[in-house]
Structure formats: C-alpha cells, structure tokens
Structure 1
Amino acid sequence: MQKIASGIFKLTFGTPEEFTPVSVLKPVTCLEALNALEDHPLPFLREDIHFQPRQGSVLLEIPLEPEEEVYGLGLQLKSFRQSGSKKKLRTNSDPSADLGDSHAPVPFYVSTAGYAILVDTARYATFFSGGCKRVGSRQDLEGFESAGTEKGHWEVKKGSGNMLVDIPAAQGVDIYVFCGGDMKDAVSRYNLFSGGGALPPMWGLGVMYRADWHADQEDVLQLARQIREDEMPCDMFGLEPGWQTNAYSCTYVWDSNRFPDETRLIQDLNDMGYRLNLWEHAYVHPDSPVFPELKPYSADSYVWDGLVPDFTQAEARKAFTDIHQPFIEAGLSGFKLDECDNGDYIGNWGFPDFARFPGGADGEQMHSLFGQLYQQTMLAPFKAADRRTYGQVRASQALAAPYPYVLYSDLYDHEDFVRGLATASFSGLLWSPEVRQTATREELLRRIGAVIFSPLAVLNCYMIPSPPWKQFDHDKNHAGEWLEDWPQLAQQCRKLLQIRMSLIPYLYAAFGRYRQQGVPPIRPLVMDYPGDSEVLDCFDQFMVGEDLMAAPVVYGNGDTRKLYLPQGRWYERLTGEWLNGGQWITRQVAEDEVPLYIRQGALIPWAEPVLCVRDDTVFNIEPVLYGAEAGECSLLCDDAVSYSMISESLPFATIKVTQEGGLSIEEQDIISERYRLAGVKYVPDGERG
C-alpha cells in the first residue's frame, strides 16, 4: 500500500497490466491542492480486500456495508443509483439496456460513506455493487428473509453483499481509494488526482449551434447572419461531416467545391462573434495526406476503410496533430470528436476487440482508452498555441476531469439524457443532453430548458437547414414552410437561452472551482445531501454551482413537476416565494420556464444577457442577495481564453455585501477588466426578516 496524497491510497494486487488508465494517460495530479485538504484514513482495513486470481481473470472483493449506497461507474443513461446492480463496463455507443454499456464507462464508484475507488483497468470489468453475496463472506452469517410463496421457495438475503469486481485477462490490478469527509469531498479528490477539472474559455459556456450538414459556405454564413438577426444567443457554430472531401473515413481536407475559402469563412464567423467548431473522427481515409505517415503507427484493422491511429505512439500523435495545425492557425476554436466509441448495430463501426496496436495494446484495452487518447492528442496543439478550446467527444473513461470535451450521444430519450447529467458528474465527466430534432414545440422548449443547465448548451440542428424556432418539423423546415407564430416560439427559445447567458459569470466561477478544488460544477442533490434518503434516487434535480438548484421538466411528463427541496430555505425564482426545505412540492411549469431555486444567504452575480462572449466582452453584473443582510460570492477574473493563466491558484475576486449595506470588492484592479457591477439588489425572506 502506498499513500499518494492526503486521503488517497494506492493498493496493488498481483501483477497489474501495462496498459491502464493511470499508466497510459499519466495524470498530472494536483498534489498541492490535495495535501491542503484534511486527511482521512482508509474506510476499511487493507486485509479486508480479497484478491483472487482465476482462470482468465482476477476477482476483487471490497467491503461494502449494508447501509452504503453506490453511485458512479461513468456515464450511465439507464440508471442512477448503482446499489445492487451488475454492470459490465464496455465502451459502446448503443446502451439499449441497463447492462453497463456506455459512451464513457469508468471503473470508479463513490459511496455515501464518503469514499470512492478507482479500479485502474482498461478491461471490460464487471462490477457487482452489493447484489451478489458469496458463501463464507461476512454477509453469509446474517439471517435470511423468505420471499415468494409462503413456504419460502425463494429466499432473499437481508442486507447487501460486498463490491465484487471481475477483471478479464488481467493477472493483477492497482486500485486507488479516495477518502473524504463526504461524497463530494471524495469525488473532488478523484478529480484533483486526475489533474483538476476542465476550465473552458468563457465563450464555451455560451450556446453552440450545429448547422445542417448539407450546408456550403454561403449557406453557413447566411444561417449565421439569420441567427444574429433573430437576436438568438449563440457563441459557437459547428459544422458536421459535409465540410470534408471524405468523412467516413476522414481526409481532414476541406471540400473546396462547397467551401472555397475556409480562412475567410472562419474570419467572417469570428467577425459576427462566432467560434467555429468542426466535426471529425479519428479514422484516416486513404486519400488523406497523412495516411502514409500514419500507416506504420496504426492498428491491424481498418474502420470505414480508414486507419486507426495508435495514439499511445508519439509518432502517431505528431502526424495527426500536424494535419490539424493549419486549422488552429486559421483561428478554429475546436473539434467535435465523433465515433471514437464502438457500436453493436452498424457494421465496420469500430475496430474489433482482437485488433492489435503497434504499442502493444489490444482492441479491448484500446476501446476503453481511445476516447481519452484522442482528446489528449487534439488538446495538445491548442495548449501549444496557448488558446483554450471547448468541444465535444463521443467516448471517454477514467481521469477525464481535465479534458475540455463534453460527451453527447446519438440516442435521444429525454429522461435518459437528463439522467446522464447526474451520473456523469460522479466520475469526472462532462455531459450535454443536446437538443436535436423535435416533434413538437413543447419538446423543443423542454429540451432547451434542460440543456441550459448542462456543461455545454448545444442545439444540434444538423438535420434541418433553418433554425428550429422557425419550424421544428423536419419536412416543413426543408420545404421552407415557417410556423405562422414563429416569432412567438423564437421569443420563448430566446427567453430560455438568455437564462444561460445571464449565468455565464456564475458558471465560469463554478468551473474555476472545478479546476482548483475538483468540485463538479453541475451535480445531483445526493452529492451535497448524502444523508437525506429523499434524494437517493433524485436524478433530475441539480446543484448548479454552490447556490442554485435547477429542476428541468422532462419532456413527456406534461407541465406538472414534482420536486424536492433539500434542507434549508429556498427562494423560488418563478413565483418569488420562500419555501422551507425537507419537503416535496408540485408545480405547474409553462413550456418556456424551468424551476430554479436559490439557497438562502446566496449572493448571485446575475449578468445582463449578451448575444455572444467576445474576448473584450464586459458583463454588466447585478449582484442579488437572497434572504440575508450580508453575503459574498466570487468571480473568476483571468483572461478567459489562455492556458497560461490556468494554475492551482486562479485569480478570483470576492464581492462582499456587509450588514450595513456596503459593497466591497477584493482584487478591484482585475475585476473591472471583465465585469461592471451595479448596486446590490436585496430579496428579503419575509418569514425570517
């Protein structure tokens, strides 16, 4: 056993494999921040963990008390609380059942007892989270309880079993135990061990619009102008596969017939306040200029007749980044890294598990690590240029917190998408329930209402040529038949997107804390209130930063929203009421509204919404103090775009409101470069004075 940092222990069993998340990704652990935290011991004895080599696998048995609840295991779209479940963690784009398949399965779980464990493996490990009881274990000494018929033909054990982890092909494994005072503390330590949370450029917290994949250069510019004419907030403009000469597999070469002057396109979009983002995947077409150079450093299997680079090899990384360097030099802001997961239902999508890579990994290990390695590779040239990026990715795994890429899916159930927001946050992942095609105006608005409280607010309109607020129906949009009342729908969409824009300074500070302290900026209630049994299965309410709670309405549930208020006092933004916590309430919620609650004592720096965040944008801030005579909040005051400003000590400015009604600002010299503050507004709590 080795102590890594305050409250973090590494335990080694047998002979670990060469290719694991920690050994391959080599996280730059934030040791200074970790060692400043209170130390905690292991939650169990070292000898209480049992390691058993088996034929073709190894088995770990880790203590799990009956009262503990388990969360995590990466992005899980079909379930939230993992207690009693069985999950085989396999990278797969088609998680049609709750079996563990995921775009981002992570062998990491967190307990309500205040600790978390990373099993450092790239294998398709199976986690039995207390549901499997072994003969001879401590649970075997407890009593039984009859179930089924009166004669007890089916008997069920009281309590839970231990955590059992079956790891195929391995002869040993390292595990890392993160010991905290509570769940949030344990998750934060894991994120700091990974390298600290991602800090996007401030413009990345605005709105992204992905355009029709058939669009050419003039179509793109016309659509961009139309969005501005409609006064719809938008910061990022995304192009889908059609920009390349070949996309399945990829050439990474502009189609000059459709985009005759890509440098001018980027400049024209920048002049309108947009940052261009390009779709791609990592499978290299034979016509790509980089194909010959990459061939010796690629897998022995093709995908879509393209090479699969081995990103564990320096030569592959360099060749791949070299072909992307001109895009970055031309001013491109980022990429959408698609289809780096695997798929069961589409032929030739993904390399087989038996594939071999020049660096020595097999297909199973590389499926687990490919998304992370792809992110690492594409992030490097932006860091070299000292320009932050923020993009999308289709696969990830362990140690993902530092990477500025947000997960998404081609699956589309809204409840699953909202659940993904909750489950991703346990494992250092960012997830967007992006808006795609919608059947009704209500669906469009409900989906926007959820996405504005996610790490990346994406309207992915790649299937329609004109904005959905003009016409959400696919066929009528293509026919140019607008809704008669489209200005009203546009106003409803604008109203929701402006909520997002008004929160950008607040969200940016929350991401700053994610970078510096490891606290997920958007997380389910159980992470903050693990002792409250009412929130154990509450996957559709979120803490946004430290003081806001959002409860978006899931499409298909009508306009009635039942939600839970945790302990304390909460201000309801829609009604202007103060409510006591510890109760369930029911609300009727209009299509263009989202229930939002503010914690008593919070000072929220509401911003005047802008259409986009430019490098020189100065936000007009109205600090609002809720239910108190004094309070404080922080604003992050770096340059918002460069990597050189990111360190373990970020330049926060603290705004304080005193009981005498005074407003004071620490670090006054840096706050004025980004924020212009108005006087404080007070929202008194009538019951409390």
Structure 2
Amino acid sequence: MKPYRRLLFFISLCFSCSLSLSQDEPTGNGYKVNSVHIDPSGKSLAAKLQLINSTSVYGPDIRNLNLFAIFETSNRLRVKITDTDQPRWEIPAQIIPRESENFHRSLSERSQVILQESPHVLSISDSDLIFTLNNSTPFTFTVTRRSAKDSDPLFNTTAPGIVFKDQYLEISSSLPGNNRSWLYGLGEHTKKQFKLNAGDTYTLWNSDIAASNLDLPLYGSHPFYLDVRPGGISHGVLLLNSNGMDITYTGTSISYKVIGGIFDLYFFSGPSPVAVMDQYTELIGRPAPMPYWAFGFHQCRYGYKNVSDLESVVDGYAKAGIPLEVMWTDIDYMDAYKDFTLDPINFPVDKMLAFVNRLHNNSQNINNSYGTYLRGIGDGIFLRRNGSNYLGKVWPGDVYFPDFFHPNASDYWKEEINIFQKILPVDGLWIDMNEISNFITSQPLNQLDDPPYKIKRAVLEKTVPPSAVHYGNITEYDAHNLFGLLESKAAHDALTNITGKRPFVLSRSTFVGSGKYAAHWTGDNAANWENLGYSIPSILNSGLFGIPMVGADICGFSGDTNEELCRRWIQLGAFYPFSRDHSEINSIRQELYIWESVARSARKALGLRYRLLPYYYTLMYEARVKGTPIARPLFFSFPDDSEALEISTQFLIGNGVMISPVLQQGAVSVSAYFPVGKWFNLFNYSDLVIANTGEYVRLDAGSESINVHVRGGNILAMQQEAMTTKASRLTGFELLVAFDEDGRADGEVFLDDGEVVEMGGEEDLSQWSLVRFTGSVEAGKGVVKAQVVNGTYAADHKFEVDKLTFLGLETTKPATLKANALYVNGFEVSKSKGVSVKSEGAGRFGVKGLSQPIGESFELEFEFTS
C-alpha cells in the first residue's frame, strides 16, 4: 500500500509587492448608583452609575455609566458596564456573536426606579448564579453561587470600585485564600506550571516574542480564567475586551487594568471544569473540526534548501519506517519571501508541482498562501495610517498589511488563495507572524501610540502602531489583538469555499474564539530541557481557551537539539494533539531518522499514537460538540483531587489516557501521580498501577520509553499502526475494554471520511457514525454492548471490530484466565471459524477474528474462570 503524506507551506503577513505611571493620587474614587430597573422577567437589570469624585491620573474620568446584568442562559451571566453618553469600542457582534445587544439598548431607555438602600438581587430559579448590586458608596457588585456551602463569592468587586476613563479601566475582585481557589488561564504566556502563580502579572497584547521567554505576552490574548474551588466546584470568568491589559493575580485578588474599551464580563457556572468549557465555547464558538490526516505526524524546518531537500526528507522517513503524514516548508519556498509566490530557482513551479503530485499520489498532503500587492492596492484593502497605506517592514522588506475589517478583504483573500491553488494545490494554510509582527518600531503619532497607562509591553514594539486605522475608522489600538482571529476566519472560510472540504488552518496569533477557525502551535520555543517541560502547561492552556488542536515544536525550534533531548521530546510530542517536528535555519538538522535511538523512540511512540487515532478523532468530535479539550489537565477527570490541581508535568488525552513523560536530562525513571483507580500501561498491559488513594509512583522510563496509561473504566476504539493515517484507517478495529474497580467501562467512537466540512451534521446522516460502548463484569460473567447512535456511514464502509482485549477482570489475586464461552447477540462464537479466544496474562484475555460490524448494535457476553 502506498504511503499517504501531505505538504504544507508557510504564510507570513508580508506584502511587497512597563511600567505604570507612579502616583500618590488614587486612580479613581468609584461610582454611586443613581437608579435601577429590574425587568419584569427577573432575568435582567439595568442601573445608572454616577462618578463620585474625579481624579487626574491616566486622564479624566467618564462621569456617567450604564450597568447591565442579564442571565443569557441558566449557566451564563453577563455584566456589562459602558459609557452612558458616548459609544465606545467593543468587539463587534459579527466577530463574536452575542445576545442581548438590542435588549440592552431598550432596557437603558426605560424609566428608572429610584434605589433604596438595600442591595438589588438578580436571580432566576434555574440558575446557580446570583448577581447582587450593592448600593454602597462606591457601589460594588458580587456574583455568588446559590448552592455554595461556604460564603465565598465567585466575583466580588472591591473598593474603591471601578475606574472608567477613556484610556484606562480598572476593576478588581477579591478571592478566597487558604487554598480555597485555584486559577488557570489568562494567556498566552510560557509558564513553568499550569496553575496561575500568585504575585504574577499577565499582560495581554499580541506580540512577536519567542515562546522560549518565560512570563512575557506571546501570540494570543485570552482574558479568561477557570476558578476551581474545594471539591472541584468550578466556574469561569471572561472579560471580553480586545484592548491591551495587565491582569495581576495576588492569590487573594485579581485586578484588571485595561487601556480601552468597556467592561464586558461573562460568568460561567460550571460546576465542573468540563461543564465550564461547554458553556464557554457555546459563547465564543465551538472548536473547528480538524481533518483526520491532521492527526498524523508532521515534519517541518525553516531552511529546506530546495525541492530535492524536501524529497530527501520524505525518503528518509520512509527508509526509517517512521510514520510521516505531512511535509511542510517554511518561507524558503517563496520568491523574495513574498506570499503566494515560488522561488523560481530552488522551488520552481514545475518541480514543485511534480513533488506535490507525488505526495498526493502517495496519499500525502500540502499547505500554502500569498497576497498580491497590485490587487490589494486596487481593492483598497490595506491598513492605513495618517491618511496613507501603512508601510511596514518584514521578510521581503517594505510591506503593506491586509485589513480584515474591510468588507472586500475576505473576497480578496479567497481569490488570492484560489489563484495559487490553481498553480499548486495545497491542503491547508499556515499563518505565522499575524500578531501583527513588524520589524520596525514606529515613532509615536498621538496618544494612541503613547497611552497614559503603560502595560508591561510596549504597544509600539515590533508591531503595527496603534494609531493605524482599519476600515470603519477602527483603530489598531482597539483591534490589535483581533488580527489573528480575523485572518484565521478569512482563511478558514476561503479554503472551505474553494475546496469544499474541511479546512486546516494553523495560526500563531489567537484571540477569544480563534478555535472556531484554526489550530495553534505554541510558537518559537527553544531546544532545551526547560522548554520541553514548559510545553505541557502551554498545550493545556490552549485547550482551556477553546483551541484543542495544539502542539509544541518537537525537539525545539531554536538552538541545537541533541539526541537525548530529541528522543525524550518525540516520546512526549507523539501525544500532543498536533504533532510536528519543527526547527530553524541556524540549528542542526533534527529529523527523527537522524539518530537511530530517536528513530526507535519515534516508531514506538508514534506507533501507539496511530493505534489511538480513532480515539483522538473521537475526542475531536467531543471538542466540536462540547468544547472539551483533547489534551486535559488531570483535574478535568478528577476535580475533587486537590493534588491533581497542582500537576503540570503530566496530562490526559481525553478522559482516561494519561501521559507521564521524562522531562529531566539523564533520568531513567519518573515520579508520576496516579489519581484513584486502576491504571494499565498501554505499551505493556501487565504493567498495572492500582491507586487506592491518589499517590505518586516511581515508574521505570528507559531511554527509549514513555509511560502511557489508561484508567480502568474506559473503552478505547483503536486500529493498527501504519505509516499514514489512510493506511491505518483501512485496518480492523480493536476495542480495548479496561474495567475499573467496580467492573464497569464505557467509551465511544466517531467515524466519517475525515474531510466532510461539518462533523456530525444533522442534515446528512449518511456522512458519519457514532457508536457508544458500555461494559460490565461480575462473578465471572461480563458483557459489552454497542449502542449505535447513527450507523449509516460505518455500515456503508463495512468497518468491523476485529479484536477485543479485556483488562482488569481480576480484582483480587491475579490469575491466568480461561474463557469458557463467548456470545454475540446470543449466538456462541467461541468456536466459530477464524475466531480465537485466549488468555493474554493475569486478569486479561483477548478475542481475535470477530468481524463484528461496528455500524450495528451488538451485545457480547463472555464467561471466564481463573
């Protein structure tokens, strides 16, 4: 069978064609409530706020404000505060669709009721959230939980209340101390640990900074955090604001200092972390489904010299027997680094077309894009400053930048992609440096370029100046953090329209809602052991922000890797949702076949990944439907385990597959934390860890090994390993049934062609299948049932369960098992032709040759004795 691989190209955004002010005066004195109106439905409240006393720090205060509180759903509360007299910048509803805008306007125009001294409470019977407006001076508000056993508010604004100026907004909330609140999120930053560290300030201003730098603002802005309280009771908080900001977390408080826009706060009631993700992505947009091939292994390097270099890499992987699904080039293929061009010497059209055809004929893939200067000038779709198109500088030299707010920009972008597609067919788009990165630092033009409050990242440094103007007189000052989101949307929509298939877009810059259109990688990390460890908090954060398809550059992007580091990195990176080796031009070559020990590790780790592809793909479906990350922190499955809240060196794939990598140089063992349960090693089923309480266990981790365990209670749908995803998909299915301590297990599998635009669409049930499995065992008898939610696609393509493996059938003294009988839908198949039933060690046995259609409901019963 021929291998199936793809080639992806790089796209940059080139067209050629802090410190706060110190003061003794307070930043603000707060506001008082003049009047309030509660809607007869009881779901919403509007209040008029008036400034108490002005201050001169960071500019004059806005005197009159409107406050709106509304239950948009039973689990989502919105609190919005804005200028009464003048419209202010807020994220347009066509970018992130939101409810209640017309309602807010009409509510603010109604006659108001003069307040009494008592607080005003907004609550509805089917919500656990309660909003309280306190008529104090200055006013405050709290959000509490009806079911809470303690008195700790979820959000509690503190004196002197809010500050609201034209270029400076401030709001703070107290938080319970004494380990009664754990916070996660607020990115994008490279951090040593997943949990937020008390005393840190997180700056949100999308920046072209190497991800190898700790605690600096990186490529995305996500003012969202998850708050986990004792017992795992969780809620989420989003400040939907695209302006630059500093967010300071002390452990007992969180404070926002924002340089524009409005307060637009959303509270998500949970109460579990998984429920918060469902509620959050319901608002910002469900994650985009990824093509099946995107879950294969990808190879990239900035510095491939020519077409022959690309061909030699593809051949090197094939010779080493290492799976390779996607082959990328960086900006090397471009003519003078201009998008949508090919270098006529090293990457000529004829040779590139022949190479792409070879890959496609072998069932492999490619990715690219470019924007043309003259057509962009003709359409007038470039960003402007001071009355002219803004001239920046990136790889080609002088450049213009597209303005994706312009109504013609999306059509322009689609046409440029379409033109290039006709020259060289590509399978997806890789969008880099879209923060926007700019190699010059402009001089200040006005107060937008030099705001009175200085966030801890210079707003002019290596980017388009904030005084640049988008279509509709929208300033870059307000819209800077949205650029990557808007370009991702344009690319996603263009590819969908042009190809009629599910698009693959990989974006470096992100904002709230980017996961609706794009995958993400964590940026320019470094080839060292520290960055290997940092990759875990980084991918977990991306999942928390609604971008589940994420990975870090395996073996490290900048600097020279080495054999041991690269070996350990592929052992870990093989299990990232997005798995790609990527390096820079000045580093040594690091393709996985260069070192034999790395090649062996790659074959082993990627072999398991490819067996787990149906599981990964089903998790993509779950992410699409519920927003649940693919890579998850341990506490997502064990929210009431306080130790799991601290873990940043391990993670889960889905609900029950745990990755415990080696992150230290020279280590041949790892101390891994196991929450309560039975945990089976997926490389060696006889290697079992039983944790009666959450506990750390010292595991062997030889130089070419990583520990991957499945928790009892899970049924994994798997297929055989292969060199490509297409080849693996043609193999029979195995159900790995791992019973928990109570003799129970469940799981599911989602199937489609991997390229249909919608995943699980209701309009055409013939394009997909979903099958749910349950299992139970007691007193030597067991049963596994398959419930088909929709089986048409699986039945049409004759997918079959060929093998079953049962684990955890003994809860006492391990013994070799003997299967006495095996029935499917009441018919004994133990002695059927081609069916093999045999013990595979203590507490387990396997069934082979079953040929049970996966698109049909079935009930399998078995009996066994020791």
TM-score under structure 1 normalisation?
A: 0.84
Residue 109 in structure 1 maps to residue 225 in structure 2: yes
Aligned-residue offset at 1:547: 1.6
Deviations 1:348-367 (A, max 9, x none): 84312332223333233333
Counterpart of 1:587, as a letter, is L
SS across alignment from 1:679: strand
1:213 aligned residue: 303
Deviations 1:69-94 (A, max 9, x none): 21111233124222533222121232
The answer on whether the counterparts of 1:17 and 1:173 sit within 8 Å (CA) in structure 2 is: no
2:384 to 299, 311, 318: 299
1:335 aligned residue: 429
Give runs of aligned pairs for residues 219-298 of structure 1, distance below 5 A.
219-247=309-337, 250-257=338-345, 258-261=347-350, 262-278=352-368, 288-293=373-378, 295-298=380-383
Counterpart of 2:649, as a letter, is D
Deviations 1:550-601 (A, max 9, x none): 1222253623322211122322345612321400122231232221121112
Counterpart of 1:468, as a letter, is E
The answer on whether the counterparts of 1:21 and 1:398 sit within 8 Å (CA) in structure 2 is: no
CA RMSD in angstroms, aligned pairs only: 3.0
Q: How far apart are the structure 1 equivalents of 2:583 and 2:202? A: 33
Aligned-residue offset at 1:439: 2.9
Q: How far apart are the structure 1 equivalents of 2:374 and 2:318? A: 37
What residue ranges of structure 1 are gaps of 5+ in the alignment?
30-37, 132-159, 472-485
The answer on whether the counterparts of 2:566 and 2:598 sit within 8 Å (CA) in structure 1 is: no
**Structure 1 residues 583 and 347: CA distance shift in structure 2, 3 A:** same
1:185 aligned residue: 275
Residue 402 in structure 1 maps to residue 516 in structure 2: yes
2:801 to 638, 656, 677: 677
Q: How far apart are the structure 2 equivalents of 1:466 and 1:83? A: 36
Does 550-559 or 516-525 show the bigger shift? 550-559
The answer on whether the counterparts of 1:209 and 1:461 sit within 8 Å (CA) in structure 2 is: no
Q: How far apart are the structure 1 equivalents of 2:500 and 2:747? A: 29
2:73 aligned residue: 5
Q: How far apart are the structure 2 equivalents of 1:64 and 1:22? A: 31
**Structure 1 residues 101 and 216: CA distance shift in structure 2, 3 A:** same
Counterpart of 2:582, as a letter, is N
Q: How far apart are the structure 2 equivalents of 1:251 and 1:468? A: 26
The answer on whether the counterparts of 2:746 and 2:773 sit within 8 Å (CA) in structure 1 is: yes
Q: How far apart are the structure 2 equivalents of 1:508 and 1:360? A: 43
SS across alignment from 1:598: strand
2:735 aligned residue: 623
SS across alignment from 2:162: strand
Give runs of aligned pairs for residues 86-97 of structure 1, distance below 5 A.
86-94=201-209
2:414 to 315, 321, 329: 321
Counterpart of 1:449, as a letter, is Q
Does 526-535 or 591-600 show the bigger shift? 526-535
2:539 to 409, 421, 424: 421
The answer on whether the counterparts of 1:9 and 1:178 sit within 8 Å (CA) in structure 2 is: yes
TM-score under structure 2 normalisation?
A: 0.68
2:500 aligned residue: 386
Residue 610 in structure 1 maps to residue 704 in structure 2: no
Deviations 1:368-399 (A, max 9, x none): 11111111011012222321122422110112
SS across alignment from 2:514: coil
SS across alignment from 2:463: coil
Aligned-residue offset at 1:28: 8.3
SS across alignment from 1:614: helix
SS across alignment from 1:91: coil
What residue ranges of structure 2 are gaps of 5+ in the alignment?
1-68, 100-124, 134-140, 143-156, 443-461, 813-842, 844-866
1:457 aligned residue: 579
Residue 164 in structure 1 maps to residue 283 in structure 2: no
The answer on whether the counterparts of 1:621 and 1:678 sit within 8 Å (CA) in structure 2 is: yes
The answer on whether the counterparts of 2:428 and 2:505 sit within 8 Å (CA) in structure 1 is: yes
2:241 aligned residue: 121
1:666 aligned residue: 787
Structure 1 or 2: more strand by fraction: 2
Deviations 1:611-652 (A, max 9, x none): 112399424221111135553321112221011444379741
Counterpart of 2:771, as a letter, is A
Aligned-residue offset at 1:123: 1.0
Residue 368 in structure 1 maps to residue 481 in structure 2: yes
Q: How far apart are the structure 2 equivalents of 1:227 and 1:406? A: 25
Aligned-residue offset at 1:17: 7.0
The answer on whether the counterparts of 2:573 and 2:579 sit within 8 Å (CA) in structure 1 is: yes
Counterpart of 1:458, as a letter, is R
Aligned-residue offset at 1:501: 1.0
The answer on whether the counterparts of 2:561 and 2:590 sit within 8 Å (CA) in structure 1 is: no
The answer on whether the counterparts of 1:524 and 1:540 sit within 8 Å (CA) in structure 2 is: no
Counterpart of 2:733, as a letter, is I
Q: How far apart are the structure 2 equivalents of 1:20 and 1:416? A: 33
Higher RCO by CA contacts (8 Å cutoff, separation 6 or greater)? 1
Residue 26 in structure 1 maps to residue 150 in structure 2: no
Give runs of aligned pairs for residues 30-109 of structure 1, distance below 5 A.
40-42=127-129, 45-46=132-133, 47-48=141-142, 49=157, 50-54=161-165, 56-66=167-177, 67-78=180-191, 79-82=193-196, 84=198, 85-94=200-209, 98-109=214-225
Q: How far apart are the structure 2 equivalents of 1:603 and 1:393? A: 33
The answer on whether the counterparts of 1:560 and 1:589 sit within 8 Å (CA) in structure 2 is: yes
Aligned-residue offset at 1:101: 0.8
The answer on whether the counterparts of 2:522 and 2:538 sit within 8 Å (CA) in structure 1 is: no
Identity %: 16
SS across alignment from 1:25: coil
**Structure 1 residues 256 and 343: CA distance shift in structure 2, 3 A:** closer
Q: How far apart are the structure 2 equivalents of 1:294 and 1:554? A: 51
Q: How far apart are the structure 1 equivalents of 2:427 and 2:348? A: 18
2:827 aligned residue: none
Q: How far apart are the structure 2 equivalents of 1:598 and 1:582? A: 15
Structure 1 or 2: more helix by fraction: 1
Does 648-657 or 224-233 show the bigger shift? 648-657
Aligned-residue offset at 1:109: 1.0
Counterpart of 1:256, as a letter, is P
SS across alignment from 1:341: coil
Does 351-360 or 267-276 show the bigger shift? 351-360
Aligned-residue offset at 1:167: 1.4
Q: How far apart are the structure 2 equivalents of 1:268 and 1:17? A: 56
1:543 to 609, 632, 652: 652
The answer on whether the counterparts of 1:27 and 1:399 sit within 8 Å (CA) in structure 2 is: no
The answer on whether the counterparts of 2:187 and 2:217 sit within 8 Å (CA) in structure 1 is: no
Q: How far apart are the structure 1 equivalents of 2:713 and 2:92? A: 41
2:469 aligned residue: 356
Q: How far apart are the structure 2 equivalents of 1:557 and 1:565? A: 23
Deviations 1:305-346 (A, max 9, x none): 111111111212221221111344554111211111256997
**Structure 1 residues 524 and 645: CA distance shift in structure 2, 3 A:** closer
Q: How far apart are the structure 1 equivalents of 2:431 and 2:471? A: 22
Decide which structure has the larger Cα Rg and report it: 2
**Structure 1 residues 119 and 199: CA distance shift in structure 2, 3 A:** same
Aligned-residue offset at 1:444: 0.8
Aligned-residue offset at 1:294: 5.0
Deviations 1:106-163 (A, max 9, x none): 111110041111111111122222x2xxxxxxxxxxxxxxxxxxxxxxxxxxxx5333
Paired residues, number:
630
Residue 565 in structure 1 maps to residue 664 in structure 2: no
Q: How far apart are the structure 1 equivalents of 2:514 and 2:800? A: 34
The answer on whether the counterparts of 1:122 and 1:364 sit within 8 Å (CA) in structure 2 is: no
